[in-house]
Structure 1
């Protein structure tokens, strides 16, 4: 099981595959043969299932347990290349058709500012539905796309994490199907709880290695009455010596971000766009809500000390868009260490492009796809060591397989022994996205 589609099967393997396929189809769930487009990190599944509710996912998982099938959940596939390639993959569970138990995609209690949704629902569709009641899930992602389940599984968050937090902070209930087909719910109206575990926190960022997320409940916020973006360009940055333009650029960024974070104008986001880590940078603050125009003027006054600031009613084109897709890294450090982290990137001498939430110190760095393997490995190792001294970490989100050979995508983690115990508790047979997460979990 789990061999690529083109690999020949022995007679015994072929018989087992036929038995597994027959059992999967007996669940009544739509099953199709996988194609090369369904590959996860270059590993092709054998079948793709399209369940329509939590019960059908549970049925699929019971069959998978009985036939030792490795399972990988997928939403719309925007982050399917993130993480390690799975050790094996027999069944891809596509959540695109998942609905709630009553056959609807969204349950919205507008008076309570709460919504319950199927995990396969795209975030933009969810917010379009909620907007009819002037409410929103304040969770913009750095990809501008993605499903509810995929966003939770990869723990991505966009610019407004500075004010509203991440998916983990907005999640108040979750329904999952475990590797043996058990349906477990945490928060809200509990059907079955897994004693001693906060499922929402465990499954957020788990990359599908603990089970399949089928439903999620979130707390909502009213859509702000108004929004303004205030932008300023800073001088050249980089790791230069005292008094040089490079040093001046990063010192200016450090001072400006500290000032904005403490501002009474209360920006919802402070984002950085740095197309060339040694060149000019752009800082943009989002001000939203009551009297946004007046508060934006106060922010512009502060920014004018660093350059000619401007106010717009629309976000910059680069807002909440990753700086690249082929080679993409995530840098996380304590907020006070954002500028030292940028110095660490600049010091490596590669043409990095950086964007991200500079006030929250979660940054995305992109490198050109033609970077050499040795150069890339040295860059990751060097920056990772620098960030560790700052109390941070570097994760390789996306990278071509040729560059991935010499690096650990996740890097060292002191929490790894605990993570392995959790994996053993939830998936003792190592059938859920095996090997995709840190430490080969």
Structure 2
């Protein structure tokens, strides 16, 4: 534990760094705080902090923008909160090769704004892009509905610089797209929730900003699962290539589109002629007894901005208890999950806002209500998901409830592999304790 004596020692050791001491009475409802907060500005400073913490066996929680503060972790306060808020900036940009290397504390939207004059962007679509940092996005493998067209962080990251718990710097991957030698170590760290090391620098491949984009909304007048599913299959089997194919439940559709019906969101990005052609295909096959509306360019951008800010996150302070589930099932089962979640919401007296990707099988369900009702809803939804052969991860929940609800679900037969890797890399278990699968 950080004592006044060790705090004084830490200040002497780190000299120029900003170090804030958190008062004992201040408790954040999401936890994942620190008795002291340190703000490094360089990679070497991150290394020195971890080396000191590892030597003295001080626990460390890592934070970027704070949007994922409610995702995992059972510590209200670690000894040290390592904030990357001051560790920002572009390291290297190769417009011709369409690659970018950036410091991990840089907010995602700041990077996109930098790339815009080059007509380039990072092909990821995280939630809360104004606050989420590229390091946090990579560590949580965060993505939204456009994963269908963009892929995930694991598809777009080509190189990482990591700082191990003992301060050692390691580099995986490279700075070119065609990099195929040996095991892809990047995938070990992406999605590991900062339990194996601190992401220092990220190299990603870029793509051109599309010339034109649009969104089609197909709203179904009745909750006919088979009709919605059959239409989704038609779209998937066609020659068109939507960037996203997302079904919204009535509550979320009402909030975002003012139509309280199951609504299929189909988005396109390409040159205008290609987008128009794909829209025409949809207009020729959409079912009877449905309504179709469209948004293009600025209207579509405004919709997406609203969409990526509708979930509860680590920066909000709500009067009611809020939770977010990330669910993975067979892609065509997402409509079953959304309908089952609505029924569970009614029986548990909670509000449910949900969406799921017919192309990816990933669903996000936001739950709001009283404490016991939210916990009951999580348990019932997870049970339904498991029956369909899927998984349900709780990606946002107050710390008091994370101590009751198993965020990652039951351990699997492969848990020993995770344990072995953690023990090898972080044998003192100082980094992001209990933040990953099986309590790692």
Common fold by TM > 0.5 = yes
Report if the CA contact (8 A) 1:162-1:269 is conserved.
yes
Q: Tell me which residue corresponds to 2:137.
A: 151
The one of 135, 142, 148 equivalent to 2:120 is 135
The one of 66, 90, 94 equivalent to 1:109 is 94
Q: Tell me which residue corresponds to 2:435.
A: 436
- Structure 2 Cα separation of the partners of residues 113 and 38 of structure 1: 44
3-state SS of paired residue (2:204): strand
Q: 1:293 aligned to 2:276?
A: yes
Q: Tell me which residue corresponds to 1:81.
A: 70
- Structure 2 Cα separation of the partners of residues 208 and 128 of structure 1: 26
Change (3 A) 1:376 1:263: same
Q: Tell me which residue corresponds to 1:230.
A: 216
- Structure 2 counterparts to residues 263-278 of structure 1, below 5 A: 263-276=238-251
Q: Tell me which residue corresponds to 1:10.
A: none
More RCO (CA 8 Å, sep 6+)? 2
Change (3 A) 1:49 1:401: closer
The one of 327, 331, 353 equivalent to 1:331 is 327
User: Which segments of 5 or more consecutive residues in structure 1 lack a partner in the other structure?
Assistant: 3-12, 238-247
- Structure 1 Cα separation of the partners of residues 268 and 405 of structure 2: 40
Report if the CA contact (8 A) 2:244-2:266 is conserved.
yes
Higher mean C-alpha deviation, range 83-92 or range 50-59: 83-92
User: Which segments of 5 or more consecutive residues in structure 2 lack a partner in the other structure?
Assistant: 254-259, 314-321
3-state SS of paired residue (1:253): helix
- Structure 2 Cα separation of the partners of residues 70 and 410 of structure 1: 21
- Structure 2 Cα separation of the partners of residues 179 and 422 of structure 1: 13
Moved over 6 A (4+): none
Higher mean C-alpha deviation, range 174-183 or range 196-205: 196-205
3-state SS of paired residue (2:125): coil
Post-superposition CA distance 1:363-384 (Å, at most 9, x none): 11112232x41x4343323322
Give TM-score scaled by structure 2 length.
Answer: 0.85
Change (3 A) 1:29 1:268: same
Q: Tell me which residue corresponds to 1:64.
A: 53
Higher strand share: 2
Shift of 1:43: 5.0
Higher mean C-alpha deviation, range 300-309 or range 71-80: 300-309
**What RMSD over aligned residues (CA atoms) do the two structures have, in Å?**
2.6
Shift of 1:427: 0.5
Change (3 A) 1:143 1:305: farther
Post-superposition CA distance 1:410-436 (Å, at most 9, x none): 102423221111111110001001112
- Structure 1 Cα separation of the partners of residues 58 and 220 of structure 2: 54
Give TM-score scaled by structure 1 length.
Answer: 0.85
3-state SS of paired residue (2:377): helix
Change (3 A) 1:171 1:38: farther
Shift of 1:151: 0.4
Change (3 A) 1:44 1:189: closer
Report if the CA contact (8 A) 1:115-1:220 is conserved.
yes
3-state SS of paired residue (2:421): helix
Report if the CA contact (8 A) 2:193-2:435 is conserved.
yes
Post-superposition CA distance 1:17-42 (Å, at most 9, x none): 4333432x24x433232368795833
Change (3 A) 1:196 1:73: farther
3-state SS of paired residue (1:331): strand
Higher mean C-alpha deviation, range 220-229 or range 309-318: 309-318
Change (3 A) 1:125 1:169: same
Shift of 1:85: 2.8
Change (3 A) 1:92 1:401: closer
- Structure 1 Cα separation of the partners of residues 85 and 400 of structure 2: 31
Q: Tell me which residue corresponds to 2:41.
A: 52
Change (3 A) 1:74 1:284: same
- Structure 2 Cα separation of the partners of residues 406 and 58 of structure 1: 34
- Structure 2 Cα separation of the partners of residues 275 and 94 of structure 1: 39
